[in-house]
Structures are given as structure tokens and as C-alpha cells.
Structure 1
Amino acid sequence: MDGFMHPINFGFPFFGFDVFFWWLIFVAIGFLIYQDANKRGMNGLLWFILVILPMIGVVFLLLYIVIRESKVENKAMKILKERYANGEITKEEYLKMKEELEE
């Protein structure tokens, strides 16, 4: 036997590209998590790193899905609420701007 069918050489024609393929999948999922975490005001880079770690990335992916906030708050709405809380705008201005943002 020339060794090509030996269990150590399993997947011979691909030369380990299957590992590269899985890394690409984890990086793609990590990038999506990064974008989603930034939109939700969480630390996107930290979650990206945790998700692409070998072996435990799946655990952190599931953890992220469980603990992430359920809704994405509009950045403009957040600024409007802060301005109203600081007394920079009146209640009437706040309600008018809030209606415009919700349209």
C-alpha cells in the first residue's frame, strides 16, 4: 500500500482545506456577531474574538444569542431621550421629534 488510504491521510485530495473552510465559517459568523453587537451597544470586537476561538467559539456564540438585548434601539432616539433628560428640549419638542423618528 502506498499510504494514501491510511486513516492519517483521510481527506488526502483536500490537503486540509476542510479546516480552512471551517475557519472561514467561524470568521463569517464572527463578523455577523461583531456587526450585531455594535448595533446593540455591546462590545463587538470582544464578541468577535470569543466566537472565532477554536473549540469554545460555539459556546460563546450560543451565550451571545442568549444574553443579547432583544431589541435594537435607534441611535437618534437615544440621543433624543438624552436631550430631553438633560432639559435641552421641551416636552412638546420631544414628542414632535419622537413622532418624526418613529415614522
Structure 2
Amino acid sequence: MADVQDNFAVRQVTDVHSNWSAQGDGNEGKFSFQLILDDGAAEAVIRPPAEDSFVVLQLLALTKDLFFDSENRVLIFGRVAFNAPQAAAAAAAASR
């Protein structure tokens, strides 16, 4: 009989581990994020490109609640702390 917990598609992310790995001389490295779901009930790994990894890290810093839809492979950021002047400054700095 399958574990009932395996049937949940959306789980809370309770921890995130990140890493970068070299891909050989002259090649760009790759980022990955290991998502620990519901205090270890499940795990997922996402591998966004470098530009998206930067945005993921920023959003992680701005939100308290984080969820992952394992069926659709969607990272869901809860309420994001937003301050328009700070957001505009961060966007300007990122585009340089």
C-alpha cells in the first residue's frame, strides 16, 4: 500500500540547499537547489539557469512561506515582502 503522504502534490518547502558545479574548462557552471519538503517527507531538485537562480535567491530572501507543486514542478512563493523603492533599486542594480 502506498504511503498517504506520497499523494500530496503541493508541499511546504521547509529547507533549501543550494550548490554550483563546474561543467569543465570553458563551460558555464550549473546551479541547483534541493528543496526539502514538509520537514523531510519528500525532496525535489530544481536546476534553473544562472539568471533565474539569481531571481530565485532574491525571492527566497523576500518570502516567509514557500511551497513546491511536485506534479507541475512549480515553486510557489508565499507572501512576498515588497517595497516599491527598494524593488526598483534592486532591479536597476541587477540590469547593470
TM-score w.r.t. the length of structure 1 is 0.27
Q: Which has the higher strand share?
A: 2
| Higher relative contact order, chain-length normalized (CA < 8 Å, sep 6+) | 2
Q: Which has the higher helix share?
A: 1
TM-score w.r.t. the length of structure 2 is 0.28
